Amino acid sequence: MEPKEIQTKLLALLTGVAPDIDPASIEPSKNLRDQFDFDSMDALHFATAVSEAFAIDIAEADYPRLASLEGAQRFVEERLAAR
Amino acid sequence: MQVEFHLPSLGADMESATLTEWLKNPGERVRHGEPLATVETTKGLIDIEAYDDAQVLEHLVQPGTKVPVGAPLARLEISGAPQAPSPSVPSQPPAAPAAPVAAATTAAPAPSPKTAHARISPAARRRAHELGMPLETFARSAAGGIIHVADVEKLAPPATSAQGDARAAMRASIGMAMARSKREIPHYYLSHAVDFGPARDWLIGHNAPLAVKDRLIEAVLITKAVALAAARIEGFNGYFRDGRFESSSAVHAGAAIAVRSGGLVAPALLDANQKDLPTLMRDFSALVMRVRAGHMRSGEFTAATITVTSLGADGVDVLFPIINPPQVAIVGAGAIREQPWVQGSQCVARPVLTLSLGADHRVTDGRLGARFLRAIAELLAHPELL
């Protein structure tokens, strides 16, 4: 999967679990907790969506890697490359 | 028999709502607990659920109309005796129901239609509705004269952006509820530090083999522990109304959820003490999604019998929460942090959770409050019991 495609998909997943954020306002490098006040439930919703959409398993210890959109991108790329 | 269906009070801070959509038309049947209409409040869109199985006869209010709490919305034909609008949805025993009606009809500072008619022109009244201004505002300033549209606009608050309005309205309604709480409820506060290690270890072991969507979060364990303790120790679960405490047999745990555009809501996880952790987790997850989507249900708004508020990972150690009236207790959970902890004669680093309790002195004292907090701590020390 192309990086661009992953990026587009991640953005859609994020706005899916957080329909109350403005997609245009997302700063990909910024922590979602700082940026959008993400709580542990939001983080779990995002992890679930990423896990299901890309068919990858995400251990709890890996949750911090999904803290920002950019982090999530790197994580997904690594996981897909390792397959 | 025919009954009127009134706009219920969806919390101590609600005075009015705007009907946005009818979900059932005249002639259609609606079942107990099924959404009848959607209203817009300062907390977002809320589906108003029917109290009885009924047939809709007539809509009394059209979409776009702002109405005070307690205003008739529709006429319904029901079979048998009507259920009073209960704050505790489906499974609640019929002990509590009577009071909420009173709350819905008398608590609302609904302007007397007669006074309003006499002093305000119909066009001015319509404009006031559009601006979201209570008619009382003018009744006082009328001084015998008639209020016209121009007078309404003179008194209207300056227009701001729609989002700014929503934020201000949310702040105003939180302010109103919390001011009432601080004015009426003699709070006392207790806090207790807990070694969250056993709960965290249990949680890690429980979650490890599960798909992400089936995993539990700390807040669910804490909520379940609070609900179980509230069911065991009398005096923290229920409502203080009409000068006395009404204990509730059902435990509907309000979960304080921050709203991203500002403010917070605390809808209920119904029967939280009776649900197993995976079920409670699913309910909690769905509740948060409804809050995020800005579309909730009336039942979960009026049902909470106690509230739990967690600061989350980036919070601070302790919070001193304010009771959400007419409830009588609120349990706070600070951020869980590694802290020095004495175990035997050793000082070790443990994940420490500080629980706090804000409770109503009209109902309980610190001694019982301490037992309640200790019961929660005990349950968290034995997560397999949750």
* CA-based nearest distance A28→chain B, Å: 18
Distance CA B302, CA B34 (A): 15
Distance CA B261, CA B44 (A): 11
Token pair 């309640």 is found at B372
- The verdict on a CB contact (< 8 Å) between B218 and A39 is no
Per-residue pLDDT, B106 = 33
**Phi, psi at B358, each rounded to 5°:** -110, 120
* CA-based nearest distance A58→chain B, Å: 7
Same domain, B262 and B292: yes
Per-residue pLDDT, B165 = 79
Same domain, B218 and B309: yes
Yes or no: say if B302 and B8 are a contact pair by the CB < 8 Å rule: yes
Same domain, B332 and B201: yes
Domain assignment present for B294: yes
Same domain, B45 and B125: no
Residue A7 maps to which CATH number? 1.10.1200
The C-alpha angle B251, B252, B256, rounded to 5 degrees, equals 130
**Phi, psi at B122, each rounded to 5°:** -55, -40
Yes or no: say if B28 and B34 are a contact pair by the CB < 8 Å rule: no
Per-residue pLDDT, A77 = 96
Same domain, B309 and B252: yes
* CA-based nearest distance A14→chain B, Å: 12
* CA-based nearest distance B213→chain A, Å: 5
Per-residue pLDDT, B242 = 93
How many CB atoms sit inside 10 A of residue B244's CB? 9
Nearest to B13 by CA among B342, B324, B331: B324
Q: Stretch A68-74: mean pLDDT, rounded?
A: 96
Same domain, B218 and B248: yes
- Chain A interface with B: residues with Cβ < 8 Å: 17-21, 33, 36-37, 39-42, 44-45, 47-48, 51-52, 57-60
- Indicate the number of domains in chain B: 3
Nearest-CB residue to B314 (from A17, A33, A58)? A33
Domain assignment present for B168: no
Residue B303, classed as helix, strand or coil, is coil
- The verdict on a CB contact (< 8 Å) between A39 and B312 is yes
* CA-based nearest distance B288→chain A, Å: 7
Same domain, B201 and B289: yes
pLDDT band at A1 (very low <50, low <70, confident <90, very high): confident
Residue ranges making up the domain that contains B118? 113-159
Domain assignment present for A24: no
Which two three-digit tokens encode residue A16?
A: 């899916």
B261 DSSP assignment: T
Same domain, B102 and B129: no
B325 DSSP assignment: T
Q: B residues 246-275 near A, CB within 8 Å?
A: 257-261
Same domain, B83 and B212: no
- The verdict on a CB contact (< 8 Å) between A20 and B217 is no
Peptide bond into B209 cis (omega under 30): no
* CA-based nearest distance A56→chain B, Å: 10
Distance CA B66, CA B59 (A): 14
- Indicate the number of domains in chain A: 1
Domain assignment present for B17: yes
| B106, B134, B168 - which closes a domain | B106
Domain assignment present for A39: yes
Per-residue pLDDT, B13 = 73
What is the number of CB-based contacts under 8 A between chain A and chain B? 58
pLDDT at A15 over 70: yes
What are the counts of helices (DSSP H) followed by strands (DSSP E) for chain A?
A: 4, 0
Sites in chain B below the pLDDT cut of 70: 81-163
* CA-based nearest distance B263→chain A, Å: 12
Same domain, B205 and B154: no
Residue B19 maps to which CATH number? 2.40.50.100
Pick the residue from chain A with its C-alpha nearest to B281.
A41
Pick the residue from chain A with its C-alpha nearest to B285.
A41
Flag whether residue B215 sits within 8 Å of chain A, measured between CB atoms. Answer: yes
Distance CA B87, CA B80 (A): 20
Pick the residue from chain A with its C-alpha nearest to B163.
A20
pLDDT at A66 over 80: yes
Q: List chain B residues with CB under 8 Å of A52.
A: 212-213
Q: List chain B residues with CB under 8 Å of A36.
A: 260
Distance CA B140, CA A72 (A): 58
Same domain, B234 and B329: yes
Nearest-CB residue to B218 (from A21, A40, A51)? A40
The C-alpha angle B110, B111, B115, rounded to 5 degrees, equals 155
Per-residue pLDDT, B318 = 96
Residue ranges making up the domain that contains A59? 3-17+29-81
For B100, residues 6+ apart whose C-beta sits below 8 A from its C-beta are B8, B9, B84, B85, B86, B87, B302
Nearest to B305 by CA among B107, B89, B45, B94: B89
Residue B226 maps to which CATH number? 3.30.559.10
Domain assignment present for B47: yes
Q: List chain B residues with CB under 8 Å of A59.
A: 208
- The verdict on a CB contact (< 8 Å) between B312 and A40 is yes
**Phi, psi at B333, each rounded to 5°:** -125, 120
Yes or no: say if B91 and B31 are a contact pair by the CB < 8 Å rule: no
| Best mutation target, B202, B210, B212, to test chain A (most A CBs within 10 A) | B212
Same domain, B381 and B239: yes
